[in-house]
Amino acid sequence: MEKHLTADFEEACFLVDLSPVVRRRDIGEPGLRSLRRLTLVVDAAAELARDPDVKLFLVADRSLRAGGRDEFNDPADVRVLRDWVRRGLVEELEDADGRVLELCEMTGIPVITYDYYRDARVEFPFLQGNTDDFLQPVPGPDGTVRLTPLDMGVASDAQISRKSEETVLKKQGLLGPRHAPRSEVVRRNWRCPDRRCTLYNTRKGSSMMLPRMRGGVPTCDLHSLALVDDGPRTATAQVKLVLDGACLARFTLEDGSTVRIGRRPGPGGIALHGLVPDERAVGISRAHVELRVTGGVVHVEDLSSYGTRWRATAGKAGPGLWQDVAKGSRREFRGGDELELTEGVVLARSGRRFPTELAQDWQRRTPPEEASGAVTRMY
């Protein structure tokens, strides 16, 4: 197989995002990780390129080799990977995604992968709607593999933000088996015993910083000290004001608050007068909607005389259809949801979820036995 690997991307016919390929369990032999899957991909690449001497440029996350050596079917695979890295046949980085996408954008060489790179859509806009530059290995007859186009689709802001959140949680060691979040860690504030610490000191306004899990213990990224539980996080939520697709302002709502939003909603409310052009503001009621935050969950009630429409944008099929909201009705206002107050004027739940809401949302999607566990060793 080595004759098909190259240390020079300029002679490569394909780029390979090695980590997801080695971990893909529906091709090749059973097991968590296997280089046998790469052999099948090489054969498929040679067939697709009609070139028996096809060359592939491999890029891998460092964790593929260092963090999962016990998961390889054949212990010799780890030694092989180490040798390939030493000889430059695998470019190994802390995070391979950026390098793979940089090379693809720069050279136009197709990427063999299973990843949709949703957390990279802002940095690499060419991903959105791309149907030409990515291939995925799929099972063929008799244990073979075929390479088929991978449609990257168009990810919504909420999907991009959620994938970015998952990436951050994974980096910090806050994802357990089957991506179950360490909700009991994310829900809490953490304080560093070193009083000089600026990363984990809620009194200095850094309560959003997430700890790094080391040996099952929340740890300071800066001082490598075990963090002290500093009480529950205050739940917060963020809402954006959007005019014709452009964000005009962002509002952060504290837990337990009730806020009215409209043209001139009165004391304690968020006034849109002066933010929205006058010709649009006339279609917005003085108090148009009321937002109530309880335990990080946001509910919206329509108060308007002119009507309000709602839609979700975070579904797999893209934005849903606009639906009229009945006056006086109340509904949950989730990440990616949008409320149209008048034509082109939208209140959108930010795709960014603050840690308390993030933990709650993920816990709703996690089996109870996984969500309720204590802080334990992850690996």
The Cα 290–Cα 282 span in angstroms is 18
Q: pLDDT tens for residues 49-66?
A: 888 889 999 999 888 887
Provide the residue ranges of all domains of the chain, joining segments of one domain with +: 2-149, 157-233, 236-349
Of the candidates 11, 24, 157, 163, the one whose C-alpha atom is nearest the C-alpha of residue 97 is: 163
Tell me if domain 2-149 and domain 236-349 are identical in fold: no
Given a cut of 50, the residues of the chain with pLDDT beneath it are: 205-207, 316, 359, 362-379
Task: Region of 143 please: left (phi>0), alpha (psi -120 to 50) or beta.
Answer: left
The model carries a pTM of 0.53
Of the candidates 70, 163, 69, the one whose C-alpha atom is nearest the C-alpha of residue 115 is: 163
The Cα 4–Cα 1 span in angstroms is 6
Residue 44 contacts residue 146 (beta carbons within 8 Å) = yes
Give the per-residue pLDDT at 297.
83
Give the per-residue pLDDT at 373.
35
Say how many Å lie between the first and final Cα of the chain, rounded: 32
Q: How far is CA 27 from CA 30, 44, 303, in A?
A: 8, 12, 55
The Cα 2–Cα 6 span in angstroms is 8
Give the per-residue pLDDT at 260.
95
Q: pLDDT tens for residues 232-280?
A: 776 677 788 989 888 788 888 888 889 999 999 999 899 999 899 999 9
Tell me the fold of 236-349.
Tumour Suppressor Smad4 (2.60.200)
Give the per-residue pLDDT at 291.
94
Q: Which architecture, in CATH terms, is 2-149?
A: 3-Layer(aba) Sandwich (3.40)
Residue 355 contacts residue 186 (beta carbons within 8 Å) = yes
In DSSP terms, which residues pair with 146 in a beta bridge? Answer: 138
Give the per-residue pLDDT at 81.
92
In DSSP terms, which residues pair with 153 in a beta bridge? Answer: none
The Cα 29–Cα 44 span in angstroms is 16
The Cα 253–Cα 235 span in angstroms is 9
Instruction: Give the distance, in angstroms, between the CA of residue 323 and the centroid of all CA atoms in the same chain.
Output: 28
